[in-house]
Amino acid sequence: MSPTSKPRAEKVALVTGGSRGIGAAICERLAAAGAHITFTYSRSAEAADRVVEACQRHAVRAVAANVDAGDIAAGQKLVEQMVTEAGHIDILVNSAASLPLGDLFSVTPDMLDRYIAVNIRGLFLFTQAVAQHMPPGGRIINIGSGFGEVVPAPGLALYAMGKFALAGLTRAWAHDLAPRKITVNCIQPGPVHTDMNPEDGPLSGFLTPRTAVKRYGRVEEIAEMVAYLVGPFTDNVTGAMLNNDGGFTA
């Protein structure tokens, strides 16, 4: 294998929500590029173990950390542990996500508080903790959504709120972190085939026809875009909303 085939060799990557779906594909793709992987999960330890094994097949270190995205103290402890062991964190991918459904009248205060705690407050403070230990050349990738640009149906208030907020944070952090030579970008997928939203699931009849390509995306397609953004030739790409959505927002 040539040296250029491992462009992220010895880089340290942290991926939230890495045990399934898009997050798992990102972990394996970054491992294939040579990065050492730590990822968080909050549900299945068995699924997390499978991702660890998949990453280790690329001869990199891989660690699964059972950390809820809304648990600020646990997230900060994980960051401190990684910095103690590796000295820095080169790549952060904020991929942890949920898909809450509910219109203006059905969302309860508890639902609102939980969503904000995980998807806005938790993400903000976790990114803050990581960025303090990023060297020049660091990369932050937020996984947003086409619903952070368009909201074509009722019942998406919470989800859209979080994804619009993520787009705003991406733009703001690009300015905040430019002096440190750290880039911040947001990938906005359309419908992607995962266990949370399968291509033959209840939402497919609405989502698939809205795409120009008339199909769901694949997790590998999102992971490949992440690999590009964390690569060595993207220092000038920051603050960007990059749609990988099959024309969903076109």
Query: What is the set of active-site residues?
Result: 159
Distance, in Å, from the CA atom of 160 to the CA atom of 151, rounded to the nearest integer, reads 7
DSSP string, 29-53: HHHHTT-EEEEEESS-HHHHHHHHH
Judge contact between 188 and 245, C-beta under 8 A: yes
Tokens 């402890």 belong to: 77
CA distance 23 to 17: 6
Q: Are 142 and 225 in contact (CB under 8 A)?
A: no
The amino acid at residue 60 is: V
